[in-house]
Amino acid sequence: MKSILIIDNHVSTCTLLHKFLTKHKYIVETTTDAIHGLEILKKNKFDLLIVEYHLPDFSGMEMFDRIQKIDPEAGIIFMSGQVTLKNAVNIIQRGALNFISKPLNPDELLDAIKDAQQEKINMRSEKSTSKPICLNHEPTPDTGLVWGKCSKAVDMMHQVKTVGATNYSVIIQGETGTGKESLARLIHSYSPRRDKPFIAVDCGSLSKEIASSELFGHEKGSFTGAHSQKTGFFEQANGGTIFLDEIANLSLDIQMALLRALQEKVIRKIGGNREIFTDVRIITATNEDLLEKSETSLFREDLYFRLSEYVLEVPALRDRMEDLSLFIDFFLEQTSVELNIPKPRISSEVKSCFEAYSWPGNLRELKNVIRGVCLFLGEENMIEKESLPSRIINCFENPLEKLMPIKHDELMETAFEELKTTDLKSTALKAEYKRILEVMNKVHFNKTKAAQILNIHRKTLYSKLRLMNIPY
């Protein structure tokens, strides 16, 4: 990477960068005017652009779009003295190579330029080799997966195929039970690494004490109980993919070690004195908002940026109910094979119960419910309403269990009907009730999940619902 265009509205920044980068053998052109910078770009080809995010003429996003229209292959690094996490994430997800803060650190700037150079090499390599091969490759038909036919499912599968063809790190974000690990395996099956190992790691089961050993391995005698050498997941998956499920559960020091392993592509075993090169693709899954968690220092910002080269949102089952019949049929077929029985049928009443229920456990819950009721089939191999779990029957018989948004105003009136006064205690209770209803509405009246979000015991939630005159 030799030619660099600097666009910054401060003359001092342009002068400083020109001197510094010229000294490091780069060909540098600068301008303090965004429109003039775009005109320069139309006439000349640059390997890299370093652009101020807050220019007087255009926002960072608009500047990015204009540069892309002129030269779609241009590598862009944004810089700013007012870096916000939201701006940085948005622009990097859009396609920028980096976002660095002012005042500029010389070493950090050179590292960012070198990383950008390597990124462009990787992108060219993927364009010329991996992508055409992978997009034409279909996973074998016996994957045992079904993803639905609604518009959200079609869009999700298009994203899986597209990102699968790259080596991007992917965060799969969605509620518990939506099939995140199956999606990770599918992404791996579309990738150039599909013939290499796929290692799934449950981060929730990795305590702080054993996480380093499990991920990176250890040497014999490196700690009490290390009776033999251990090969960690990174070595096992070399050349392939590591899937880190519920990565938010990792402690901060393990997050730091993981970041180093990803950036340097080397690991060191506990008790070892040599570095081991590893080439792995990372796919992570979470039912939490990692970006929001990184803002509270519970998850490292730099690790989030490293992992979030692409974020795949998985819709909840309640948001794609048009595919419910397809999933029911799939799980019935699967269970009939497992139990070696004819494929069961469901009554119209059972179907209505399924459609009325909000499925907080998503596909996993649906699968387990079907497996359970298939043990108690009625006449003519029929699943009857009486065999369903009580929570599903109650939801069908009591529509309040579903608590769709249209009921929210009515429930607010019910909850507040005895709080007519305006004293301080009543005002505080109204605020509390309002928050409870918002959460209950959001989780579709799943009391367990609501209690977790509100950070109260489930019995406490029941007590408050009773005081609010809301059936539970």
Please report the pLDDT score of residue 188 as a whole number: 94
User: 363: helix, coil or strand?
Assistant: helix
Q: What is the DSSP letter of 128?
A: I
Question: Where residue 140 falls among pLDDT bands split at 50, 70, 90?
Answer: very low
Please report the pLDDT score of residue 403 as a whole number: 44
> Same structural domain for residues 167 and 112?
no
Please report the pLDDT score of residue 328 as a whole number: 94
Q: The pTM is what?
A: 0.60
Place of tokens 């940026």: 305
Please report the pLDDT score of residue 429 as a whole number: 77
From the list 13, 2, 205, 216, the residue with the least C-alpha distance to 103 is 13
> Same structural domain for residues 162 and 224?
yes
Q: What is the CATH number of the domain that holds 183?
A: 3.40.50.300
CA trace torsion 296, 299, 301, 305 (10° rounding): -140
Percent of the chain with pLDDT over 70: 86
Whole domain around residue 355: which residue ranges? 318-397
> Same structural domain for residues 94 and 213?
no
> Same structural domain for residues 389 and 450?
no
452 CB burial (10 A radius; 0-12, 13-18, 19+): middle
Is residue 141 assigned to a domain?
no
Is residue 198 assigned to a domain?
yes
Q: What is the CATH number of the domain that holds 325?
A: 1.10.8.60
Separation between Cα atoms, residue 443 and residue 453, nearest integer Å:
10
Is residue 70 scored above 60 in pLDDT?
yes
Is residue 134 scored above 80 in pLDDT?
no
Is residue 90 scored above 80 in pLDDT?
no
Please report the pLDDT score of residue 224 as a whole number: 79
Express each pLDDT in 413-458 by its tens digit. Answer: 555 555 555 566 667 777 888 888 888 877 767 777 788 788 887 6
> Same structural domain for residues 323 and 356?
yes
Give the domain-ending residue among 313, 340, 359: 313
> Same structural domain for residues 102 and 182?
no
How many folded domains does the chain comprise?
4
Is residue 373 scored above 90 in pLDDT?
yes
Please report the pLDDT score of residue 138 as a whole number: 46
Quick one: tokens of 205? 């089961």
For 151-156, what is the mean pLDDT? Answer: 90
Give the domain-ending residue among 313, 348, 363: 313
Please report the pLDDT score of residue 471 as a whole number: 60
> Same structural domain for residues 368 and 410?
no
> Same structural domain for residues 225 and 264?
yes
Please report the pLDDT score of residue 31 as a whole number: 93
By DSSP bridging, strand 198-202 and strand 75-80 are unpaired
Q: What is the CATH number of the domain that holds 21?
A: 3.40.50.2300
Is residue 45 assigned to a domain?
yes
> Same structural domain for residues 351 and 269?
no
Average pLDDT of the chain is 83
Please report the pLDDT score of residue 358 as a whole number: 85
